[in-house]
Amino acid sequence: MQYSLLNPLEKAKQVEDLVIRGDKRKYYRFRLAPYYGGIATADVVGCCFQCVYCWNYQRNLNPHQSKGDFYSPTEVAERLIFMAHSKSITKLRITGGEPILGHASFCHLYEILNKINKSKKHFCFILETNGLFLGLEDTFVQQLSEFKNLYVRVSLKGTNEFNFAKISGVETRFFSLPFKGLRALLENNIIAWPAIISELFNSQEINEVKRKLKSYSINPEDLEIEYLEVYPFVINNLRKRGIKLNL
């Protein structure tokens, strides 16, 4: 590899210091998206991974330079609810970066969920995460179990330590934490499932990750297959890291 792998815990601390101010977090837009049959979306700034295929690669690479504003949990919840009402949809999410970068960002997320949970209307919140801190912090998972309308999608970045490092830009020793986090979610009766990008792996590697899921008592049939959005900069990133697509 021609690049240095990240310690995502150190990176998360650095990023969280940039994107959190008191109880507020930095967001760069709010929008309605067609995914999940229609969903109100808040795009957050900041991630502790450096995934080769990330559509928000540059913004998360330089969170301090990213345009955006800081919003309180109440402001985020109210904006999401207003957008959902405007189109008569019931699904909400935060995406664009990693929602959980440590205790401060988790508290921000928890308060958003708490505000949404108190809404008079039934909403489904889909938490999209790399699962790192859910594998590290048992208390995070236990607190999330308070919310019955929460669904968690854990994006797996690799099928083994080697391709995980190439794709995520993260040290190999962190490979198993998303699996541990996913198991903890399920053990706490939270609806959760793994997802993986199909074009980055061959059939043997997909079977490999299914065996890994099974070893953590996670149903491999629940694996969601994602499809890569091939932006020009993604092709460039793939080439730099020596990753070939399986098309």
CATH of the domain at 136: 3.20.20.70
DSSP H helices in the chain: 8-19, 57-61, 73-86, 103-117, 132-136, 138-144, 161-168, 177-187, 203-215, 232-240
- Residue 29 makes CB contacts below 8 A (sequence gap 6+) with 42, 43, 68
User: What was the pLDDT predicted at 1?
Assistant: 44
The predicted model scores a pTM of 0.94
- Is 224 within the bounds of a domain? yes
pLDDT in the model for residue 190 = 98
SS3 content of the chain, % helix, strand, coil (to 5): 45, 20, 35
- Angle at which helices 177-187 and 203-215 cross, to 10°: 50
Q: Is residue 246 part of a domain?
A: no
Asked whether residue 2 is domain-assigned, the answer is no
Kindly state whether residue 245 falls inside one of the protein's structural domains.
no
Structural tokens at position 150? 């929460």
Q: Are 115 and 166 in contact (CB under 8 A)?
A: no
Q: How many domains does the chain have?
A: 1
Which residue matches tokens 């934490």?
177
- What is the predicted pLDDT for the residue at 2? 54
What's the pLDDT tens digit per position in 28-66?
Answer: 999 999 999 999 999 999 999 999 999 888 888 888 888
In a domain, 121, yes or no: yes
- Pick out the chain residues at pLDDT < 70: 1-3, 247
**How many C-beta neighbours within 10 Å does residue 85 have?**
14
The pLDDT score that the predictor gives to residue 3 is: 64
Locate tokens 């699962």: which residue?
131
Q: Contact 33/41 with Cβ under 8 angstroms?
A: yes
Query: What domain range is 127 assigned to?
Result: 8-240
